[in-house]
Structure 1
Amino acid sequence: MKLAIVFAALVALAIAAPSSDKDTQITKLVNDVAADGFNYNLETSDGTSQTAQGELKQVNSENSAVVVKGSFSYIASDGQQYTVTYVADEKGFQPTGKHLPVV
């Protein structure tokens, strides 16, 4: 169930991503979902890309969590490409990117 929620969130993110080109086409889509994990890769003709790999992790004897590692990049209205790499696990969403502040 958790895996389905994560996958649905990734698809929603891909659909909701703003694009200045209404004719943007999907050029690559890989979507492999298994009981213990998933692999997702999306590329579009406007330079947007997303990748994510998730696996079920046993946190302790009673709890498990889906650990997701991935990245997304896009070309902003200023013409620059921005990339965010992240890990999402039992500690929360942990993004990194050259344009993001470091805590």
Structure 2
Amino acid sequence: MYKFGIVLLSAILFAFVLARPAEEKSAASPAITTTTTPATIISQIDFANPDGSYNSSYETSNGIKVENAGYLKRILVPKQESTDGQVIDEHEELVLVQTGLYSYPDPEGNLITLRYVADENGFQPEGEHLPLPPA
């Protein structure tokens, strides 16, 4: 009976902790307003070509804009290198190259825009809001 009482008390305490309201933000912290209003797509374009290239974009009613284009690119990949760094054998591979941008208004109303290229060298973003690498 004693074990049953402990389990029951633990379950009640657990339910109480889960049911309590979230704490209010303090007045010292800055208030960030968010919206739960659903956004609608006001324009959308999607093209896929037989060669694997594509072009797509969309814009929403809340100011979000996305553009993306991609194509397949053949690159030479070394299979082996000799001890002195000479390429002994190489083969071709197809990689997807993507370029694009996305933009959205931040909570203060500023337009944030990020442009990018993603290819065999990785994801390379550019934007005024991004920190610059050390010189």
Displaced runs of 4 or more, over 6 A: none
Aligned residue for 2:93? Answer: 63
TM-score (normalizing by structure 2): 0.59
- Give deviations 1:17-69, integer Å, cap 9, x for gaps: xx735231100111111232110101001110000110000012421100001
In the alignment, the residues of structure 1 paired with residue 36 and residue 64 of structure 2 have an alpha-carbon distance, to the nearest angstrom, of: 12
Whether the 8 Å CA contact 1:28–1:43 is kept in 2: the answer is: yes
In the alignment, the residues of structure 2 paired with residue 47 and residue 53 of structure 1 have an alpha-carbon distance, to the nearest angstrom, of: 20
Aligned residue for 2:119? Answer: 89
Unaligned runs of 5+ in 1: 1-18
Q: Which has the higher contact order (CA 8 A, sep 6+)?
A: 1
Aligned residue for 1:50? Answer: 66
Question: What count of residue pairs does the alignment treat as equivalent?
Answer: 85
Question: Are positions 1:30 and 2:60 aligned together?
Answer: no
Q: SS of 1:95's equivalent?
A: strand
User: CA RMSD of the aligned region, Å?
Assistant: 1.4
Whether the 8 Å CA contact 1:55–1:67 is kept in 2: the answer is: yes
Aligned residue for 2:20? Answer: none
Unaligned runs of 5+ in 2: 1-33, 77-90
Aligned residue for 2:56? Answer: 40
The residue type paired with residue 42 of structure 2 is T
